[in-house]
Amino acid sequence: MRAYCKDVYDLARVTGRAVNNPLEGVHKFLSSGKAENYAHVSAEELPALLRAIQSYPHAKDVQLGLRLLTLLAVRPSELREAQWSEFDLEKKLWTIPVERKGRKKGREHLVPPCRQAIELLEELHPITGAYPLLFPGRSDRTKVISSYRSSAGPAVVADICRKIGHGIDETEPRNRTRSSGPRL
């Protein structure tokens, strides 16, 4: 909120509506919240995690979704709500529309899937390609996979982490590792 107000005053200064910005420097005197680190898998543990996800025997769509998350580095909700029509596999482009909730900057988000992600999408297509959504609900295929079902993702990761001896009790898929740039 402080940053937003500061930006408003900065704009007012630039357009001649204000002489100064009363919020300039105020951040030095405000305490920032305590940083909270998410549970993560180290770079050394990542290969074992990826092997465990790949060999996960239950719910093929959940397995493919977890693998796609590691390759696409998008929010779990963005992948969960993805529609087949947003993908142009020939151009190797996924366009997340601005209408999708969470698009803060008011513009579409372009994600260039790598070759491995495209292969996973091609593997997922025979399972869910008859429906608009990549991950349709179990009882109503026109709705996004249920929160119960999608919550299987973190549970799967936690289970796999315990099996490889990592000991993470809970983890959100996008925060599974710090080795992939934009929070996974």
pLDDT class for 165, splitting at 50, 70, 90?
low
pTM of the model: 0.63
Question: What per-residue confidence (pLDDT) applies to 137?
Answer: 84
- DSSP per residue, the chain: -HHHHHHHHHHHHHTTS-SS-TTTTGGGGSPPPPP-PPP-B-TTTHHHHHHHHHT--S-HHHHHHHHHHHHH---HHHHHT-BGGGEETTTTEEEE-TTSTT-TTSS-EEE---HHHHHHHHHHHHHHTTSSBSSB-SS-TTSBPPHHHHTHHHHHHHHHHHHTT---S---GGGSBSSSSS--
| Under 8 Å between Cβ of 9 and 142 | no
Q: Give residue-wise pLDDT tens across range 4-19.
A: 888 888 888 889 888 8
Q: What does the buried/exposed string (b/e) look like for 131-165 if buried means 16 or more CB atoms within 10 Å of the residue's CB?
A: eebbbbeeeeeeebbeeebbebbbebbbebbeeee
- The pLDDT value given to residue 2: 73
pLDDT band, residue 171 (cuts 50/70/90): very low
Residue 146 has pLDDT above 70, yes or no: no
Instruction: Give mean pLDDT, residues 51-64.
Output: 82
